[in-house]
Structure 1
Amino acid sequence: MLVVKKFGPGIAGIQGMFYSGTGCFHRRKVIYGVQPAIRDLEPGNIKGSPSYKELQAKLGSSRELVDSSRIIISGNLFSAPIVNIPCRVEAAKEVSACNYEYHTCWGQEVGWVYGSLTEDILTGQRIHSAGWRSAYFDTDPPAFLGSAPTGGPASLTQYKRWTTGLFEIFLSKNNPVVSSILEHLEFRQCLGYLVVYVWPASEPSFIVPLALFLMCNIYDIMEYMDCRMSARAWWNNHRMQRISSASAWILAFLTVLLKTLGLSETVFEVTRKDQSKPDASEAGAEAAADPGRFTFDSSPVFILPTALAILNIVAIAVAAWRVVCFAGAAEFGPGAGEFVCCGWMVLCFWPFVRGFVGKGSYGIPWSVILKAGMLVSAFVHFCRRI
């Protein structure tokens, strides 16, 4: 209700408020899938309305329903015959049967639209896409009062249904962008629908860090462009900075810390330089086959990056499972910020993700994976304890 109070007056100035289930009246013309142009017909001008066969193909074989719909569409209400109650009751039983809608337009062009668990929003979008406009009334006192689940399981089940339905529309052929391009849905109304469809993944508190993240990285890319370097060069250096800071830098810090405590001494390690002509060894042959791909060994320097890759992959998998099970509720599920951060880390550590399935020197040794897995388990256990 709060969302409607805040969002309704603004969207009402475009094509009208969304259809959100309760508290709504529909004209029969709209439910029958009639285009707004037909409403300009003069009363009694039934010639401009769809023919009997056209309505029968759309609405089904019920003669009572077709005749009634022709009268409503034409606007000639004075020509309505005297209602025969028993016949209308039998007609109502006929059209309410489960198999009546077969080979008709019900669920697509007529009535409530199928294909989503939130059929109300999708039906309203179909109505707006046809060119109709809706009116928003905010009366005091409220004209309609409804009820909502009060228990935890029922409430979360309802949120799950809403979330599932909205994502279904967003990822289907009913996406409002398609309706805006091919039909009569105005662009601003399309943006309004997009706000509703991504509502389960929205997280206003994430806007500030997201803006800082984008500004920082865009500025870095612009500097690379000024130096006549490509975006690929920026990405390679950005990724290597993340990997180096999570491996070599932390290992160097621990080495100096142990030396300061008198527990160890630093050792000068000779760095092996790549040769212009690789040797005949297996590692040299693999490096020549794919010089841009990481090679691994059992060095401790690979343990922490491997652990970070495992941690973020598991976090994305668990978060996706929670979204499905708990409908993305704030108390149980993750927000957009968690998905974006974990996804970005997986991209930065993608060489290690490839290393999980690589072979030979391209694959991460099992000893490193086991140590990284134990490190992740200890970290998760510690986080759950606190």
Structure 2
Amino acid sequence: MANPKSVLPLYEKNWYKHTYKRVLDSIILILLLLLLGYRLVSVNNYSLPWFVAFMCECWFTLGWIFTMSTQWNPALVKTYPQRLLQSVEELPAVDIFVTTADEELEPPIITVNTVLSLLSLDYPSHKLSCYVSDDACSPLIFYALQQASNFAKHWVPFCKKYNVQIRAPFRYFNDDNDECTTNNEEFRQEWLQMKDMYENLSREIDVDPKSIPSLLEREFAIFSNTNRTNHPAIIKVILENKEMVENGLPHLIYISREKRPKQPHHFKAGAMNVLTRVSGLITNAPFMLNVDCDMFVNNPKIVQHAMCILLDSRGEKEVAFVQCPQQFYATLKDDPFGNQMTILYKVIYKTI
């Protein structure tokens, strides 16, 4: 009898013909190559405008080749997270990395919302660990994470109980959200309670940094003789799932890497290197999810969808990592700078 775990795939890649677009792209590429050939033939008429035009056309042609290569074999990928437990005996652990570097440009409430959306993912809690890298060595960020951990004890069960989709509180409790108008009185009461708790959290985090020493008490001692460019490494476990309970809360660890004057820190790359080293010693998960502090998860099953591709039951190892550009929220009217990346998400991504 065949093993059922080897029959059902975790994802399907449906290829489809794209003949018209291939022909059109090829014609454009041929015309570009002919133009470059014409430029080389007319090299005797060399001048500064000729050289500038030739360089621009070479750059555009190279960009066109890269664009064609990503869209030459279009396919739609469909994942089946409901098959995950049928194909995988035990879900692997995932270490989540969040990076922040400035408590003024990146207010702590933004980082807190990102962390809360990650702590409430639809994934076994004892398999998740969230590491927050604070490159500013800010006691305010550490304090905000401490307060957020207390709120998470109520927020995470609420999200999972009512299957909330947007699990960043500042987006969930926005003015356009009318979920509190439901006829379910129990849900309505809990919704109002959670909103009050989040507003209290926002007020607690919005404090004068000078008042942090009295708020943190003993925990502040480690920040007392530091500045953002000269301090030892700081690692604090804020939340720990000691009993490894599946429906509990994930680990939450605060990290501020060591910095010394006249030593290169390599900015975010250096912070990521420290995150991987520290996580390797503490949880050592085989998979990592990296997000910025101003991002939040708008699909609580995102890790399950990713695992469907990374843990294909057929044993096909096509993917080692996935890079997804950030789709910004709170953009200007009509999105003049293209922060919503409409073309990328609605056109290009549907053809690769």
Instruction: Place the TM-score, normalised by the shorter chain, in its bin.
Output: under 0.3
> Which structure has greater helix proportion?
1
The two structures have a TM-score, normalised by structure 2, of 0.20
Bigger Rg over Cα: 1
The two structures have a TM-score, normalised by structure 1, of 0.19
Q: Name the structure, 1 or 2, with higher relative contact order (CA <8 Å, separation 6+).
A: 2
> Which structure has greater strand proportion?
2
